[in-house]
């Protein structure tokens, strides 16, 4: 059944003059629950029951009504939302699993969020980032969850404007360029970059070569990438050390190309190496060249403790602490569900863990 979007925009009440109907997008009348019922082929009361959850509705009918709501972009008025304001005990989690460079790290975030949610008798609804702002609007419109956590934030993230408009709490793990009015939590990548550069500078490395993110990763605009790089470069300049940054795929071929570029064939002093991901392929490539971190050269990494300890020579590293970030995000989320909490940026402190990959005198 089709609804004519060009229907009259004036409604006459039982008493008094005509009143302009609510206007939707592009000045058209906003859809009503009656419109939803017509599209779904059900009664208006059934639409109400789906929205309020006051009566059991078959899953098939419920899906039909929700699809009609999405088709019409129907938004219940504030009074209806208040009547339907029961808790779902579900947290939405927007996580893109499209990139092998970050899949394991993202799973650590997601797992910790799920464990914390279950401890509070909540479930987690996984959402695709591909929906963008419309996905956030959809989960509120369908009353699918009580709050949402959004990961992988870009500098110009289009979901930021929508997050400011939603009535349900939204927490960003990461920060857009404009974070006004947003609840953002992240790891302190700026200090992490400085700690890693200082570690190599303190042992007298003549220069630092950084194996950065792939060009594809950089092109996504993820906010922590330029934050880390900018502070690493600034710290190296402050310490009077040359820093060479090479973005390369996190593959064996990409690592080999990086080493060919920075080590050279002359056998001279090796630069200190800094990698922004698990150094598994780097460690294997160095081993094939007869080079051992901590003996022949110095290596530090931005990687989790689990990733570091899994290497033949565990590197000195700064962990982005995905589990700590996730636990704090969930704690903040439950505070938001209980009442207003000021929008702000919260950073998880960076710390360096020394292992055997950096040479030290004596």
- Domains along the sequence of the chain with CATH: 10-83 (1.10.260.40), 90-187+322-349 (3.40.50.2300), 189-320 (3.40.50.2300)
Spell out the per-residue pLDDT of the chain, length 362, in tens: 222 222 223 333 333 333 344 444 445 677 887 888 899 898 877 887 777 665 677 888 888 888 888 888 776 654 444 445 568 899 999 987 655 555 556 788 889 999 999 999 999 999 988 889 999 998 888 888 999 999 999 999 999 999 998 889 999 999 999 999 999 999 999 999 999 999 999 999 989 999 999 888 899 999 999 999 999 999 999 999 999 999 988 788 999 999 999 997 766 789 999 999 877 788 889 989 999 999 999 999 999 999 999 888 999 999 999 999 999 999 999 999 988 788 999 999 999 999 999 998 65
d(CA 314, CA 62): 53
Residue of 200, 191, 292 whose CA lies nearest to 241? 200
| pTM score over 0.95 | no
Q: Are 116 and 138 in contact (CB under 8 A)?
A: no
d(CA 342, CA 227): 24
Q: Are 39 and 3 in contact (CB under 8 A)?
A: yes
Helices and strands in the chain, H and E counts: 14, 14
Q: For tokens 């059900």, what's the residue?
A: 42
d(CA 53, CA 74): 17
d(CA 176, CA 184): 9
Three-state secondary-structure class, residue 171: strand
């Amino acid at each position: 059944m089709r609804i004519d979007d060009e229907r009259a925009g004036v409604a006459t009440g039982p008493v008094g003059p005509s009143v302009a109907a609510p206007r939707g997008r592009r000045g058209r009348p906003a859809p009503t629950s009656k419109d939803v019922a017509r599209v779904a082929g059900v009664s208006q009361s059934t639409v109400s029951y789906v929205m309020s959850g006051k009566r059991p509705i078959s899953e098939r009918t419920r899906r039909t009504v929700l699809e009609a709501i999405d088709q019409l972009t129907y938004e219940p008025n504030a009074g209806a939302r208040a009547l339907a304001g029961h808790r779902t005990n579900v947290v939405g989690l927007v996580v893109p699993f499209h990139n092998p460079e970050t899949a394991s790290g993202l799973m650590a975030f997601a797992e910790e969020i799920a464990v914390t949610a279950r401890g509070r008798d909540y479930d987690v609804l996984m959402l695709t980032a591909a929906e963008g702002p419309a996905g956030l609007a959809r989960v509120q419109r369908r009353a699918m969850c009580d709050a949402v956590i959004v990961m992988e934030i870009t500098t110009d993230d289009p979901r930021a404007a929508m997050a400011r408009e939603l009535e349900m709490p939204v927490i960003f793990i990461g920060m857009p360029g404009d974070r006004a009015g947003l609840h953002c939590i992240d790891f302190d990548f700026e200090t992490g970059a400085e700690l890693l550069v200082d570690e190599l500078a303190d042992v007298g490395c003549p220069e630092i070569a950084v194996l950065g993110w792939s060009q594809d990763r950089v092109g996504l605009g993820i906010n922590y990438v330029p934050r880390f790089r900018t502070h690493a470069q600034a710290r190296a300049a402050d310490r009077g050390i040359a820093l060479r940054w090479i973005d390369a795929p996190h593959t064996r071929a990409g690592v080999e190309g990086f080493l060919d570029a920075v080590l050279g064939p002359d056998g001279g002093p090796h630069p200190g190496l800094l990698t922004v991901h698990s150094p598994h392929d780097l460690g294997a490539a160095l081993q094939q060249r007869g080079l051992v971190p901590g003996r022949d050269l110095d290596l530090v990494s931005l990687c989790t403790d689990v990733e570091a300890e899994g290497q033949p020579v565990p590197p000195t590293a700064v962990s982005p602490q995905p589990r700590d970030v996730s636990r704090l995000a969930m704690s903040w989320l439950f505070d938001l569900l209980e009442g207003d909490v000021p929008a702000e940026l919260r950073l998880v402190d960076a710390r360096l863990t020394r292992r055997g990959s950096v040479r030290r005198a004596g």
